[in-house]
Structure 1
Amino acid sequence: MTHPDQTPLEERCPDCHAGIGQAHREGCDVARCLATGLQRLGHGACRCPQDVWTGRWPGEAECAEFGWMLGPGLPDLHRLLTTATWDPVAYRWTRPTAEGDTR
């Protein structure tokens, strides 16, 4: 579902030019490690599945879902990386629960 704060889908990854639903190419700096949610490039040989281009910058959908936007089309990725938890099974960021929730 598209959130009103999100930007339109980008047909191609801005770095490796993979199309929506296609795996990022080796060396792409946009690709994420699906084990950690962090940048795949430069963290050694990764054995997790290949990340695919969704048409959105990694984490943008979760920021919109959580209401963590700095403005229209501007996700608060810093807050996402420092507050949310990566779910290596669902391959997405999850909102903090109860005590640590900083809505």
Structure 2
Amino acid sequence: MTEHTEGGGDGGEPRLIDFEERCPDCDVAVGEAHIHHEDDGGCDIARCLMTGLQRLMCDLDHDCGQDLWTGWWPGQLDCERLGWMLGPGFPDLRRLYAEATWDAHRCAWVASP
């Protein structure tokens, strides 16, 4: 994670979680599916689209789907959308996983009622 100024250095808000053109684990580009291997699970960053959690650790009997690299770490944009930030560039992922519910149809975390 590197600090930069949002908007390409135009004086915007500093962020510590930066947009990345390629997945730092499996090296796919934005819009491409994370690499998955049956023997070792593949990419550590890929998410199960049924649970929203790390695909590598999913041991449920379902198709996890093809998670695409968006350029952002999993949960970052959900935290920003929900306003669950510890500070600029610091998503409150602990709160996200504790208080939100994964919506498999939207492929997004939503605030629990």
TM-score (norm 2): 0.75
Larger deviation: 11-20 or 43-52?
A: 43-52
Amino acid at match of 1:68: W
Contact (CA 8 Å) 1:31, 1:41: kept in 2 or not?
Answer: yes
Runs of 4+ displaced beyond 6 Å: none
Cα-to-partner distance string for 1:52-95 (whole Å, 9 max, x where unaligned): 00000011001011111111111010100000000011111011
In structure 2, C-alpha distance between the alignment counterparts of 1:5 and 1:31, rounded to whole Å: 26
- How far off its partner does 1:47 sit? 1.2
Larger deviation: 14-23 or 37-46?
A: 37-46
Amino acid at match of 2:31: G
Structure 1 residue matching 2:57: 3-state secondary structure = coil
Aligned pairs, number = 95
Relative to total residues, which structure has the larger strand share, 1 or 2? 2
Aligned to 1:28: 43
Matching residue within 68, 71, 90 for 1:55:
71
In structure 1, C-alpha distance between the alignment counterparts of 2:14 and 2:52, rounded to whole Å: 22
Aligned to 1:101: none
Identity of aligned residues (%): 53
Contact (CA 8 Å) 1:85, 1:95: kept in 2 or not?
Answer: yes
Listed as ranges, the matches of 1:1-103 within 5 Å are: 7-26=17-36, 27-44=42-59, 46-97=62-113
Contact (CA 8 Å) 1:63, 1:69: kept in 2 or not?
Answer: yes
Q: Gapped runs of 5+ residues in structure 2?
A: 1-6, 8-12, 37-41
Amino acid at match of 1:89: H
Larger Rg: 2
Structure 2 residue matching 1:85: 3-state secondary structure = strand
TM-score (norm 1): 0.82
